[in-house]
Amino acid sequence: MLLVTLVIWWWSFSWFSNVTSESIASFLPRFLILVLSFLMMAAALPDEIPEGGIDLKQFYLWSRVHLWSLMTATLGGYILFYWVDHWSLGIPRLMAASGPAMINFAMAVIATLTPRMWIHALAIGWISAVMLYNNLSWSIGQ
């Protein structure tokens, strides 16, 4: 979740870097993605820790639907936002360009629906690998 939030924050610099005019209608979808990434981070750890301590694995399993639903919403929002911004490419090119993101989305949906830790580990590994591969050398600006 930290990596996804970091990448979204990084993208946000390019979203507005050359903007000379922006409407609320075009700003709000971008803002919503930033809010969803914040909510992901805020939900990752418990708000209060009892005196006896907390079992983080149990907390994770208890909150997994909430956590992975936020991840699913964030990734789905990104895909929708990308498609709207690049609709002129046509559906075949959009599908090809957003294929890894759609697999990320599917992995997040599956992780939302199952308590199996190996699936969660696979989803985290896959999403992290795709995010790193697609964004590690991506530069902002000229």
**Whole-prediction pTM value?**
0.77
Instruction: Look at residue 16 in the predicted model and tell me its pLDDT.
Output: 66
Helices (H), the chain: 2-16, 24-43, 56-85, 91-113, 117-135
Which domain does 6 fall in, by range?
A: 2-13+23-45+53-135
69-104 per-position pLDDT tens digit: 999 998 998 899 889 888 898 989 988 888 999 999
33-52 per-position pLDDT tens digit: 888 888 888 888 888 888 88
Quote the number of domains for the chain: 1
d(CA 41, CA 116): 22
d(CA 117, CA 57): 10
d(CA 54, CA 80): 37
pLDDT confidence tier of residue 112, bands split at 50, 70 and 90:
very high
The answer to whether residue 18 sits within a structural domain is: no
DSSP reduced 3-state for 97: helix
